[in-house]
Each structure stands twice: as C-alpha cells, then as structure tokens.
A and B are shown apart, each in its own frame.
Chain A
Amino acid sequence: MDRKQLQYQVACMRKSLFDQGYLDEQFNQLEDLQDEANPNFVEEVVTLFYSDSSRFIHNIEQAMINKPNIDYGKLDDYMHQFKGSSSSFGAKKVKKECSQFRECCSAGNIEGCIKTFRQLKARACHFEEEAGNILSAGKTSWNR
C-alpha cells in the first residue's frame, strides 16, 4: 500500500491503542524525546519493555507455580517493577493490572492473583503485538 495509506493505518492503530487505554500521555512524551539524535527512541524503549515484560511475566509465573507457599513479597516486588516499567511509556492498562495484582497479593488472594495475572499477561501480549505492528509498519510514520 502506498505510503499515505500506511501512515494512516499506523495512525489509526496508534490511536486505537490510546483509546483502548493501552497508552497514555507518557507515550507522547517519549515521542517528543525522539529526535535526530535518537531517531528510534520510541522503538528502543518499547523493545526494552518487551524484554522486561517477558522476564517479569516469567518470573511471576515461576513464583506462582509453587502454590502452597507463594512468596507474596516477591510477587509484589516483581509486580512493582513491572508496573514501573510499563509506566515508562504509558502502558496504562498493563499498569492498572499490575496494581490490581498487587492488591490481590496483599490480600493474600491467590485466586485473584492468578486471575489478574492471566489478564495482565493477555494485555501485555496484546499490547506488544499491536505496538510491534505499529513499529514495523510505521517506522517512518512513527517519527513525528
């Protein structure tokens, strides 16, 4: 498809992410930071987030597998880190899920934890997918 269309698509995808609450104004900040010196700043940040989130999700899963003695403290820590990470570029929903997870953790609600975690995982994956699409499709368009 021609460039214009591509750009349009990217814009839509981006907008949808915003609308869905996957991104917030923090993301705009990142885009603002992108300049000639760092033309792929946003991409780099998102990539970092991907690796971070996979790591977090993996760690949390591991910690939760051992059901009888779940180390809530540890879970809480992981989740806190994940929350911080996702806030770095405005992954609002993911952040929200993290908060919920932490609440369940502090309440010792294992079921709630698992449930929230699943949701979180799903959201993170979804976000990654979409963001990835935008990035690859709209590399040029991404730059403002």
Chain B
Amino acid sequence: MENGFSSPRNDSFPAGLRVLVVDDDPTWLKILEKMLKKCSYEVTTCGLARDALSLLRERKGGYDIVISDVYMPDMDGFKLLEHVGLEMDLPVIMMSVDGETSRVMKGVQHGACDYLLKPIRMKELRNIWQHVFRKKIHEVRDIEILEGIEFQMTRNGSDQYEDGHFLCGEDLTLIKKRKDVESRHDEKDIGDNSSSKKARVVWSVELHQKFVKAVNQIGFDKVGPKKILDLMNVPRLTRENVASHLQKYRLYLSRLQKENDFNNPVGMIKQSDSPSSDSNGNFGSQNSVNLQDASNGCYGFSGSSLGVHNVDPRNHDGDRKRLVTAPVAEPKRGLTVDPPNPSKPRNSQMEFGHLLAPPQSEVNFARFDFSFPTKYPWCGIAETQLKQEHNPLHLNDGFSHLPMPGQKQLSRADHPQPAPAISSATSSTERQTGCPVKTKPSHNDYTSNANHASAADSTPLQTKTSLTDHQAVLPTSSMENQGLNMNCLTDLESPRKNINLGTLPFATLDEDLQVCFVTGDYYMNLGLQNIEVQEYFDPGLLTGVPTHLDDGLRFDYEIFDPTEYSLIDQSLFI
C-alpha cells in the first residue's frame, strides 16, 4: 500500500491518481491492483470495508478515488459509499458481478459516480480519472457560487444584498439548472428523502449564513453536522445535508487557506479594507474572510454582515488588489485565491461577505486552508486553468481542495444572487488556485500548467491567475451564470460569474478582472497570467473585479493586454 499522500501529480495527471480498492475477493484485488498499476495509478488495496474507512480517515486527502465492491462480508458496499461521500467527499465507483438495473440504480442513488460490472476490463479503469476531475470542477464551481452568495450578502449591507439577490435570482436559477444537469449528487433537497433519490437541499444564502454562523459559534474545530444542525434549527434539514455542506465548506476553506498560505504567510486576506486583513482566520471577526488555517476549513464568511467565511488571505498583504480572483475582487468576495506568494497580490481570499471596502478586490481564496494538500490543487488556479479544458472552472486541480464543502451545495442551490457569485466564486476560486500557484503541490498534479500560472507569476500574475482561475472557472459556470453575472455579485462576483457564465466573455471578465486588480499593476500581469491561464480566463476577468458594484459585466479592455486577452479569450470561454 502506498502512502496515501503521494506527491502531487503535477503534470502527469491522470497518472499517479491515488486509488483505493476495496473488495473482499483477493483474486479481484490482485487483478485490479495490477490493472490500475498498468494505468500508472497509485493503488492501495483493502480486503475489508472497515479497514478502508479507517485508512481514508487517517489519511484525509490521501486518496483521489475509491473503487469498492458491492457485496462485502463486513459492510455493505453502499454503506461504505455513503460514508465516503459524507466524510471525505471522494468519488466512489461501485463494482459487482451483479449488474441488475435495480442494483445499479441503488448505487447511483447512494452517490456512486459509476458502477462497473465484473469482469472489469482495463479500459474501463483507464478513464476513472474523469470522476476525480469532474468533482474538482464542481467543487470549484460550488465554491464560486458560494463566494458569490457570500459576497452578495456582505455587499454593502442588506440593500445591496437584496438587490443583488434579486438580480441574481435568475442567475441562480441558471446555475442551478446547470448544476442539476450535472447531477451533482451532493445536492439534497430539504425535504424528505423517502425515495431513494435524495431530495435536494438548496443552500440559499440565508441558509448558508445560518450554517456559517452555527459553525462559527461552535468553533470550527469542534464542529460536527449534528451540532450545526441543532444550532441552525431549520426544519426538514437533515444531518446528512449539513454534513455534506460542511464537507464542501471545509474544502473551500482549506483551499483558501492553502492559497493564502501560499501567497503570503502573512495571512490574511488582504483586503483593502482594514478589517479583513489581517487576522487570519478570524472567523467572522472581520469582513475579510480569514481562512486561517487549514484546519478551519470553515468558510470564513466573516463578512461583517454575514459572517461569511473569512478567508484568510494570508497572502495578500499587499496585494489586495490583486484580487486575483477577479470576480471576487470585490471586497466581499472572499474568494480570493491568493497565490501562495505573499508577494503576489493574488491572495485568493475568499471573502465572502466581507463588507470590506471595495478595494478589496482581492479575492483571496487562498486562505482557505487546504486540507487536501495533495488532492486537488485548488490552489493552483493556474494549474487548473491550464488544464481545464473542460471546464473553465476547473482551473486547477487545486480547487478541488477547496474546503468549501458547502460550496457544492451552494452551487446548486439557488442562492439568490450569490449563486452567480458562487459560480464565479468557485470559478474564481478555482482560478485562484491557479494563481496561488501553487500553494499546493497538489495542484500541480493535475494540471501542471495551471501551476505555472500561479506559481510563476509574481504578484501581478497572481492576480491574473486567480482571475484566470476564475475565469476558467467562470467559463464553466458561465453557462449558467450568464444571467447571474454580475448583478448579484458585486464586482467580485461578477467576475466570477462571468467566468462561469462563460457567456460573459470578456465583458464580465473584464469586470471581474478589474475588480480584482485594484492596482493597475495587476492588470498588466493579468495579461501575463492570462496567457498561462489561458484557457479559461477571460482577460477581462483579470482586470479584476472592481468594486464590483458595477454590473458585473464591465470589461475593461484597456487594461488587458489585447494579445493576451485574445489568448485568454480563446481559452476562457469554455
């Protein structure tokens, strides 16, 4: 069994994918191990489901995907599947010699991302990495949306919020639809799950706020789904819903943290505003989101108003403006993924709800600590960006790490406005991750390229990358976000949204970018980064998200280097 935390896969993804195989049949274990090794994956085998669970728990973030048999003597495969989904949120593939429709359906209902029939062919195993990738993208998107929501919420208080909310409503719907299409199985409705299919819970802004508040109250370290559920006191919300959301939230936070760390040990989100900055990890203490450390994972929506998570941008110190994540640019946006470098402005901070002054454009996502160091390089927005071909959001693998467990849900949910933001947020986060460069080696695994973006650039770039990430991110979500852009999310979000929406091609991006780059320098850099990021970012995004207040879509083309812009353009738009 190899060590779960293997070194990040930088550029050889999907090679090096860390797979955990669980099967009571030793013959199959042997065969699968050999097959997976031939695919250049790192394999760990387990004969008992119990052992598998403890392995997963011990090495959080040590595995990318789990393949499990359905019939096992000590534990039902479906049960294991549920546990993994809730606790670790890893993609799980079921396999069995029994291929009856009802069984397959049950597997999917319990959250399996695939169901293979034995005997399993090698070619079926070759493509399992797609599930890992897909999940990452979704996470990023979720985070973006979450950020957007948060941002929206914290934006200048209630008025804006309402407005944004209103505006974002449609966007949210769009996002939601899109998400639905993507069939994230995380989503759950509030409602009863009598049917095997889980109802979807829509994590609205208010709901999420409650969640964050509860988490902050309990203390991130001590948080547990049951406690949160009790505190939130929302009827018909199940523990499972909360657990899933919490996981996403953690991912989101850790992502931010990572980025923050990466960018700047200083820690704290840099937000132009005073409040946020600094403190890392203040939960809610300030507007800025302080993700503080990885351990927190919680969303630092500190936002003054919302207490949205505080992303601790750490990195940013000076960069605030970097707003790397462009969309987040707006202060509140906490999703700034700060490139790990302190110098880089990119701190991706996730500022959710920071009501910080607009200058904050920096979106520091980085602050979320990346609890999943190796997993997905959320941080590496740059990374993802490059890679993403498929989704702009996907900027980096790193995003996957985003500790925003809730993100996912958010994306789906209709967070009224924030949703758009979220998507953008997620995208931004993603982007950011790219930018942050690297904070996590993990990013590298996936898209090596993304890394470059983030890592390579110095601050200015960072912003870019972050933006790019966003952009990248956006594109993916762009579809949905189209509507969303922007309105809901105040600047920051809009960039994000733009990105997500994809449709908002530059225009939105620019805006985002603008927002992000408070400082003119960044813009320049963006160009650079954009190139790297390319695919996903719309140069416009990089320009940073201006205080976002303007409608999401403003492109400041001037800022970008046209050449780069085009590069980005192409890549960006999904």
Contacts and interface: CB of A to CB of B under 8 A. Distances in A.
Contacts of A49: 27
B34 A41 contact: yes
A84 B96 contact: yes
A33 B27 contact: no
Interface string B38-51: 10000000000000
B5 interface: no
B119 A45 contact: no
Contact of B31 (A30, A52, A83): A30
A41 B31 CA distance: 9
A87 interface: yes
A44 interface: yes
Nearest to B121: A29
A80 B119 contact: no
Contact of A83 (B30, B97, B122): B97
B159 interface: no
Interface in A81-117: 81, 83-85, 87-90, 95
Contacts of A41: 34
Contacts of B69: 84
Contacts of A61: none
B71 A81 contact: yes
A87 B71 contact: no
A12 to B, nearest CB: 24
Interface string B212-226: 000000000000000
Contacts of A87: 97, 118-119
B26 A90 contact: no
Interface in B9-55: 24-28, 30-31, 34-35, 38
B122 A32 contact: yes
B27 A88 contact: yes
B230 interface: no
B24 A81 contact: yes
Given A77-B71, A80-B71, A85 B30 contact: no
Nearest to B118: A87
A26 interface: yes
A88 B28 contact: yes
A30 B71 CA distance: 23
A95 B118 CA distance: 11
A111 to B, nearest CB: 24
Most chain B CB inside 10 Å of its own CB: which residue of A26, A30, A88: A88
B31 A85 contact: no
B97 A89 contact: no
A44 B25 contact: no
A52 B26 contact: yes
Contact of B26 (A48, A77, A83): A48
A38 interface: yes
B31 A33 contact: yes
B98 interface: yes
A100 to B, nearest CB: 14
B71 A33 contact: no
Nearest to B122: A29
Nearest to B97: A84
B45 to A, nearest CB: 13
A85 B119 contact: no
A33 B98 CA distance: 24
Interface in A1-41: 26, 29-30, 32-33, 38, 41
B533 to A, nearest CB: 39
A45 B27 contact: yes
Given A30-B31, A32-B122, A45-B31, A84 B25 contact: yes
Contacts of A33: 31, 34-35, 38, 122
B356 to A, nearest CB: 57
B31 A84 contact: no
A77 B118 CA distance: 16
Most chain B CB inside 10 Å of its own CB: which residue of A29, A30, A52: A29
B30 A45 contact: yes
Contacts of B38: 33
Contacts of A38: 34
A48 B27 contact: yes
Nearest to A102: B98
Nearest to B24: A81
A81 B118 CA distance: 12
B71 A44 contact: no
Interface in B108-124: 118-119, 121-122
Contact of B28 (A29, A32, A44, A85): A85
Contacts of A77: 71
Contacts of B27: 45, 48-49, 52, 85, 88-89
B21 to A, nearest CB: 13
Nearest to B96: A84
Contacts of A29: 35, 119, 121-122
A87 B119 CA distance: 5
Nearest to A53: B27
Interface in B531-565: none
Nearest to B32: A88
Interface in B278-294: none
B513 to A, nearest CB: 50
Given A48-B26, A87-B119, A89-B31, 6 more contacts: A45-B31, A48-B30, A84-B69, A87-B97, A88-B118, A95-B97
**Closest CB pairs A-B (n = 10):** A26-B119, A84-B97, A88-B27, A48-B27, A87-B119, A33-B34, A87-B118, A88-B28, A87-B97, A83-B97
7 contacts: A33-B35, A77-B71, A81-B25, A84-B28, A84-B96, A88-B28, A90-B119
